[in-house]
Structure 1
Amino acid sequence: MAKQERALRTREALINSAAAVFDREGYRTASLTAISGQAGVSNGALHFHFASKAALAEAVEEAAAHRLTRITVHGEQRPGQALQCLVDATHHLAGTLHDDAVLRAGFALGSEHLYTGERDLRRQWTQWVESTLKRADGEGELADTVVARDAVVAVVAATVGFEVLGA
């Protein structure tokens, strides 16, 4: 069991280090040596856990997607409070983007043209914002002059600003 726990800690350290290096240097210029060095492990240990830089980036995106899901899931079951849920999640996301390199790197990896991962955190966020505003509209929370699609664009655009400020 001790070996499994150590392996999990090493994998987590590599994901966190990769996120920090991707966040600081970008995917293209990030080196596996810098990532393993920051994690305090050998290049061999890195390659034991991840076959390539792309596989490591996928793990960063997956960790970031889980963090984003935790942010958006909170409060979804409160009927009649979709707008408050949106405000709370947006506020939480902004703060987390400032403090969390994994989440920042996960969003940034979706913008990298050299990396084509499966996940797209901006799309995940946009879909959640759309569904939350649709719920708010259906529950009568939106003013008659508010077009839900326009509100989605505004919230998502603000999020991009949070990403920039978080960096």
Structure 2
Amino acid sequence: MAKARQERAEITRQAILDGAAISFDRAGFHGTSLTEVVGHAGVTKGALYFHFPSKEALARTLMDEQFQVSEGVPAIVNPGLQTVIDLTHQMAFGLQTNVRIRAAIRLVVEFGSFTDPDPSQYNGWIDTCGDCLTPAQERGDVLPSVDVHDLATMLVGSFTGIQVASHVRTRREDLHARVTDMWTFLLPGIVPAQRIPLFHPAGSFECRALLGLPSPDSPKPTAG
């Protein structure tokens, strides 16, 4: 009986997060009301307050969820530069297909809406990138003159700006192409020339297969 109650409570909690994601994705933090959240979630306000004491608590929970994309990094035997490239494409895919990730990233970008802005979301991504780039540099895949932390900080800032511009211009339809451009232009400045061919700006074969993306060399479909 207790297990059944716990399962029902978790189902309700997830419904609330789904409803909040829809609202935050459409209207941002200030433009979202808890009435709209419960309407999308199909629950009562009492149920919402049982799980989340405030709209900000809801927002912070969704913001924390964005790190699910990088959960598998610690299990990778030899993380490196291609790991970071693939993570940016995985995040791009999430932004295109997952309303929770879209809502989380919009909330992070709007972090100034909060009374006490929290940089931990950005710092978490910077740390994840740095944890992959440090062994890459030790293997000779990143130039020794490059400061890995500065590179990781620049990557997170660049991706943030690229996805915002892509959202405004194409509703993120071109996001993978723009991320590929970022890496194509960046690699010659951070990787020894003879090692550049080892890396795939459009994502590794395994990454693209996992995300269901076509090979970057595949011909574009023709209208007909």
TM-score range relative to shorter protein:
0.7 to 0.9
CA contact (8 A) 1:75 1:85 kept: no
Structure 1 residue 145: deviation in Å?
Answer: 7.1
CA distance change for structure 1 residues 152 and 51 in 2, over 3 Å: closer, same or farther?
Answer: closer
Q: Which has the higher contact order (CA 8 A, sep 6+)?
A: 1
CA contact (8 A) 2:81 2:141 kept: yes
Aligned-residue sequence identity (percent) comes to 32
Q: 1:47 is paired with a residue of what secondary structure?
A: helix
CA distance in 2: counterparts of 1:98 and 1:154, whole angstroms:
23
* Matched positions, count: 163
**2:46 matches 1:44:** yes
Instruction: Name the residue aligned to 1:142.
Output: 142
**2:166 matches 1:163:** no
Instruction: Name the residue aligned to 2:105.
Output: 107
CA contact (8 A) 1:107 1:120 kept: no
Letter in 2 for 1:134: T
Q: 5+ residue gaps in structure 2?
A: 172-224
Instruction: Name the residue aligned to 2:15.
Output: 13
Structure 1 residue 152: deviation in Å?
Answer: 2.9
Q: 5+ residue gaps in structure 1?
A: none
CA distance in 2: counterparts of 1:63 and 1:117, whole angstroms:
17
CA contact (8 A) 2:111 2:118 kept: no
**2:144 matches 1:130:** no
Instruction: Name the residue aligned to 2:66.
Output: 64
Q: 2:141 is paired with a residue of what secondary structure?
A: coil
Q: Which has the larger radius of gyration?
A: 2
CA contact (8 A) 1:21 1:34 kept: yes
Alignment RMSD, CA only? 2.5
Q: 1:113 is paired with a residue of what secondary structure?
A: helix
Q: 1:4 is paired with a residue of what secondary structure?
A: helix
TM-score (ref. length: structure 1): 0.81
Q: 2:111 is paired with a residue of what secondary structure?
A: coil
CA contact (8 A) 1:130 1:152 kept: yes
Q: 2:113 is paired with a residue of what secondary structure?
A: coil
CA contact (8 A) 2:69 2:90 kept: no
